[in-house]
Structure 1
Amino acid sequence: MPKLDDLDLKNPCKIINIGQLDDVSAEDFLLSNGGVQNLRNYEQIASYNWLGTPIEPQLVIPGAPKTLSDWRALRGRRLQRDSTGLIVDENHLMNGQFPMEALFRCVKLQMKDEADVYVSENPLTENFRFQNFDVVTDRNNLRKLFDFVKQNFSKLNKMTDGNPEPNGTKISLPFRNVVSVSFRSVPPKWQQQRSRSIRINVQVLGNLVCLIRCEEADIESGRNSITYGKDFEIQVTKSVNDFSSGSFRQIVAYSLGGLNFLVRFEVDAADYAESRPVAVRKVDKKGTSDDDEEQQALDVLLGKMSLKTEKPMKIPSSRLSVLRSGEKYDYHLVEVTSRRSNADFPKHVWPQMYFSGTESLIIGWQFYGKIGKIERLSIKIDAMQVRTSQKDVEEEYGGYPIKHMAQFHSLLTQIVEFARQKCIHPKKLLAVVWKREFESNLHIYEVENPEGFAVPESLGDYIAEN
């Protein structure tokens, strides 16, 4: 097993400087996105819950997110401080050899040719094809690339191609061994302070560009900050059945500026009273409280959410097994976070909600773990701003200008086009790297002796042809 710091990269074959992105106009982006800022053709495609262990990983398909508890009653409650050992990337933890396999399997098993065997309810339409998409990624990668744009948008250097490393030297970055099924719970001492470097691996399957998440470790250790977010999330949410105790992943499809995305992300909770299909929306609301409405919605959904298979079904040529659940639903997604009471509003939440189509935010303001105010806010997707009747609060919370989104779209387009030109063979990997000491530059490297591909070879061949 190679060491974490032995993953060498070849000399950069492309450098993207923020200056080139600064020339992109908001008008051009709007024109490419049908004149609007919001995500277009948004659809919740598939979902799953993780069960089992990294030795015997299991997927429950479709999955079920946690529901909301009586969060209004939490004011004044004392939270437990976050401990070390928080999971950073569960998809890699559970299936480190092929970290995007669960995403593709989940979607593939709901395509019409396999749905009768694995997931018979609400299969995807016959015209659904992986090759109709430009990018498949975890939301985390989009957030990182958006951070690069918004933190550097004012820099006016020009984009260049070339090799900034003197004498053709190679670089080594402190990222985990992405091919190992095992995981490291305690990084070496030099990793105790989190690296400020960002890396995203890139693989091309047919026309589809896969952005593969890279982290230092699957389990975070050496935390220095005093945070209470995990316990707040536990207090605000509750499981709706046995398998929803495992973390829930939603997979959505949408288009943005002419690029078609397939995006996976973790969901904190769902508002079942606001979830679809029609059977839920037809619940009689007359004379019912919000809690009654939520419970009625749960009663409808839970009747169709029980497991349909008692034993996991093994997926051929895979380490993964599948447990069948019931119908697929469109959920009203909820983000849950906490913040120190004297801190600024967490504006970083908005890109996270935007890139996933998450509609609501529950934020708890705490002081050394004691909860003060708790509020629920809705995101105005097309402006990345809070929807609120208080104008002064809206101005305080703000959003991000469309200029950022235009630059982000330009950056993604350049990465996609370059990857398609460079990665003609599916066994080739690129690495997109942002080293914070070179803040205005994003480097694209060729990966030497590539390993840690998105999916097994046989599944990759299927994706490239369908």
Structure 2
Amino acid sequence: MEIAFTVNCYISGLFSILLTSALLYAIVFHTPIEMKTYRLFLLNIGISDFLVSVGMTFIQPIPASSRKEIERPANDSGISYVIMGPIVYFIVPPINHIITCMLIGLVLYNILTLPYCFVYRYVSLIYTDGQRYLHKKKIFFAVIVAEALVCCCVSIMMMVGDMPKFPVPVINDWAEYYTYKGDTDEPMFGNLIHMDFHVYYMISCLPVIFVGLPIAIISTTIATDTYTKTINGVATVIFSYQVVFSPLITFIFVKPYRRVLLSRCWFQDKKIFKKVVHPTTSSQQRSDRQSLVSRALPFTLNVAISFFVQRVRPPNNEINACGNMADEGLGFWLFEGIEEEPYGLLPLVNLSAKGGPTSTKYVDRIGSYQWYLNEDNPTILIPGNPTESFYWPGGKLPQDHGVLIYDVNHMKIPNGSLDPIILAAKHMTSRTKKPIDFNEYDFITDAVNLQKLFAFAQEAGDGLFRIDCERVGKTILLSRMEASDLMEIAHVTFDQALKRKMTKTRTKHANGPHFQLVSYQFGNFKMLVRYEVDCADYTAAKAAPVDVDKHDAPLGEKKTFEENPDISFIEHGDPPKYVPIQLLTTYPQGAGFPFFTWAQLFFTNADQEIVGWFKGNGDFGKPSFYTLQDISKLMKPLPYVVLSKVHDCLNKVKMFLTKNDPEFRCALVWKGKNHLEIFAKKPEAQGAVSPAVKAYLETVCKEPVENGEQTEEK
């Protein structure tokens, strides 16, 4: 057993020393700028891991019990340890006892650093306003010093709590001090050191989650008087390997550090897009591209693993309304399916602030659809019926809570979230005098993508978003990419409560998310835009009330689309073509005006924004109704400069994609900086449209040529 224990300690020590040394090198020289604050936490963990691994290798302590001895000092707690490491050969026992006490203090410090790192990541994910406090070096070093003082107290109390076997003033022979009669389990060069009750109480009060399985095993063997070297040696070996897995996990989940550990010939992907043109990005800017990193695992998963492995993945700056919803895999949603490094940057200063559009023109409602959520397979109602709004004088509402569907289109069709736009628009216009021609459109997108670009151009806060881009012919497809299809409500809002209070369904089947498809001209670009409708004012459209028979009427025949048989549709609903469409939000009184609603109305061309003003814990007055013109009167100045930058951004994205291979796809990533980062998507990554719908679009959308003309249709 002794040989196996020693061999395991040397193996774990060798690996941990090598890995922690490499990790410290990577942290110091290969940490990207996005992790400059979190680097302090990583250095703190890395240095403590390195010192613990060195101490465990040379000391190799096994927790023991002095209860099996024939003679025990008064007030002896019964807790002791045996040193098995090489330190006993070249350092005298009193000194290596001091070193061992220091090791125990380091182990405790290593354990205490875990909750601080968890708090940092949790605050960065959930309570983003608290980041500025944790980022302060004064607070960081104050916490570190406090933890170090606690650990020093433990080490000192262990040293002063050392009790000799015999109460004599002077002991000349160290063997009398460190060896015991009748203790047949003691090795020849082992040291058996006692700790008094003060240390015993301190160790016993440590939270179990911080000490994990090894301490649980050791405490059990001592309490039940079933101590054996084998059991406690295994516990020590288990603990010794945590300093191996800690840096190893860091290397696995932090991509810039992984390059230090792995050979570049293994790690680097092949350059498959050699013809890519970088729009508005100089060679100097391209040479200054920054490495990106994988982001944090869900907090609950971190806690589950935290017994022996310190999680070190850096947090994202902000996940706006998505709570702690990270993706289910090991990678973070923001970087899923894209290359490791950006191909280039799209700086905000390179976007033109003059000569852009100030309004949208030729607005036309192409059609609409509504998700039928009672079917497991993707099924939409065409045209569907948005919920009907009605008068509500105000009152008390409960705060929103729980989980809601955040991106139903991606949830239902992960590989083709734009399919319903194409299929519903084609179906609804096929019976009109002028069926839709997708070749006329420069962009097909969700309105929320345009609102995100508006926030970037406006430099609004420390946002975080990703927009995926691809093209078919000259038509650019911008697909929405969110943190999760489901959103956990983690902030104070009453949107859903207000929607339930002042809206009702027109038919019992039309209760899913309703989407409007609108066509308009935005500057030089013809846009086909989709947005979710909150409700509609049927009274203003003089629509007849729905009687009971019509409300409960059965659904019609379910059919499948020829272009994509995986999606079904049912012809259901009859909303008036020009019924006023309304968006809805809630906002606290006294906090100014929610000017983000201006961009919502501008890019959706919805008729009204309903704002529910609340105070306290949900006391509402009568909701207010605003048109785009109403909000424009409240804004000084109007954001025409921002609109110009959004238009120029779209222009550069279009130029970038049309000058490259048709199969090239990319993602625009914003991390709150004054530039967008452009990443190439991997071939196997999910697309904006399904392969079948893309094949259909390729038959109608013409390929651009260099002189600006289009190729003939085949």
**TM-score bin (small chain):** 0.7 to 0.9
Alignment of 1:290-439 (within 5 A): 297-299=543-545, 310-316=556-562, 317-325=564-572, 327=574, 329-367=577-615, 368-380=617-629, 386=631, 394-395=633-634, 397-398=635-636, 400-425=638-663, 428-436=664-672, 439=673
Structure 1 Cα separation of the partners of residues 375 and 484 of structure 2 = 15
Match of 1:144 in 2: 452
2:554 and 2:660 mapped to 1: Cα distance?
Answer: 44
Deviation track 1:64-102 (CA, whole Å, cap 9, x = no partner) reads 11111222x2x2x21111113122111111222221111
Q: Give the match for residue 88 of structure 2.
A: none
Q: Where does residue 412 of structure 2 map in the other structure?
A: 94
Distance 1:101 1:54 in 2: 18
Q: Secondary structure at the match of 1:52?
A: coil
* Deviations, residues 218-255 of structure 1 (Å, cap 9, x unaligned): 1112x442221110121121111123211110010001
Secondary structure, counterpart of 1:244 in structure 2? coil
Question: Does the 8 Å contact 1:308/1:325 carry over to 2?
Answer: no
Tell me: CA distance 1:24–1:341, structure 2 relative to 1, closer, same or farther (3 Å).
closer
Which of 4, 24, 27 is 2:353 aligned to? 24
Distance 2:665 2:490 in 1: 34
Residues of 1 paired with 2:607 and 2:505: CA distance? 20
Q: Is the 8 A contact 1:152 1:440 kept in 2?
A: no
Could you tell me how far apart the structure 1 residues matched to 2:695 and 2:468 are? 19
* Counterpart AA for 1:246: G
SS of the residue aligned with 2:545?
helix
Secondary structure at the counterpart of residue 227 of structure 1? coil
What displacement does 1:108 show? 1.7
Residue correspondence of structure 1 range 79-228 to structure 2 within 5 A: 79-112=397-430, 123-126=431-434, 128-151=436-459, 196-221=463-488, 223-228=489-494
The 3-state SS of whatever aligns with 2:688 is coil
Deviation track 1:354-403 (CA, whole Å, cap 9, x = no partner) reads 101112122111121111342222222xxxx527xxxxxx44x5563211
Please give the alpha-carbon distance, in whole angstroms, between the structure 2 residues aligned to 1:125 and 1:305.
31
Match of 1:240 in 2: 506
Matches of 2:652 and 2:386, distance apart in 1: 35
Indicate how the Cα distance of structure 1 residues 350 and 399 shifts in structure 2: closer, same or farther if over 3 A, else same.
farther
Which of 377, 382, 394 in structure 2 is aligned with 1:61? Answer: 382
The match for 1:52 is 373
Matched residues in 2 for 1:350 and 1:399: separation?
Answer: 12
Comparing both chains, which one has the higher relative contact order based on Cα–Cα distances under 8 Å and sequence gaps of 6 or more?
Answer: 1
TM-score by length of 2: 0.48
Distance in 1 of aligned mates of 2:529 and 2:548: 26
The amino acid of 1:409's aligned partner reads: H
Q: Matches of residues 435-450 of structure 1 in structure 2 within 5 Å? A: 435-436=671-672, 439-450=673-684
Tell me which amino acid in the other structure corresponds to 2:653.
I
Relative to structure 1, the CA distance from residue 127 to residue 49 in structure 2 (aligned partners, 3 Å threshold; closer, same or farther) is closer
State the Cα deviation string for residues 248-284 of structure 1 (Å, max 9, x = none): 1001000111101000010011112334xxxx5xxxx
Aligned CA RMSD, in angstroms, stands at: 2.7
Q: Which amino acid aligns with 1:386?
A: I
Give SS of 2:659's match.
helix
Shift of 1:421: 1.6
CA–CA distance in structure 1, aligned partners of residues 561 and 624 of structure 2: 43
Q: How far is 1:408 from its partner?
A: 1.1
Gaps spanning 5+ residues in structure 1: where?
31-36, 113-122, 154-194, 281-296, 388-393
Q: Does structure 2 retain, via aligned residues, the 8 Å contact 1:305–1:325?
A: no
**Alignment partners' CA distance in 2, 1:95 and 1:56:** 10
Q: Check the 8 A contact 2:429/2:435 in 1, yes or no.
A: no
CA distance in 2, matches of 1:40, 1:269: 24
TM-score when scaled to structure 1? Answer: 0.73
- Length, aligned pairs only: 367
1:43 aligns with 2:364: yes
Structure 2 contact 581–608 (Cα < 8 Å) conserved? yes
Q: Secondary structure at the match of 1:336?
A: strand
Q: In structure 2, how many angstroms separate the alpha carbons of the residues matched to 1:415 and 1:29? A: 16
The residue correspondences of 1:255-294 to structure 2 (distance < 5 A) are: 255-275=521-541, 280=542
Change (3 A) 1:333 1:364: same
Tell me if the contact between 2:534 and 2:583 (Cα under 8 Å) persists in the aligned partners.
yes
* Residues 259 and 267 of structure 1: CA distance in aligned 2, closer, same or farther (over 3 Å): same
Contact 1:263/1:356 (CA < 8 Å) preserved in 2? yes
Does 413-422 or 397-406 show the bigger shift?
397-406
Distance in 1 between residues matched to 2:364 and 2:550, nearest whole Å: 21
What is the CA deviation profile of residues 181-240 of structure 1, one whole-angstrom value per residue up to 9, with x for unaligned ones? xxxxxxxxxxxxxx943111111111110001101111112x442221110121121111
More helix by share: 2
Cα distance between partner residues in 2 of 1:78 and 1:300: 28
C-alpha separation in 1, matches of 2:553 and 2:651: 41
Paired AA for residue 206 in structure 1: G
Instruction: Report how far residue 340 of structure 1 moved.
Output: 1.2
User: Residue 225 of structure 1: SS of its match in structure 2?
Assistant: coil
CA distance in 1, matches of 2:550, 2:470: 37
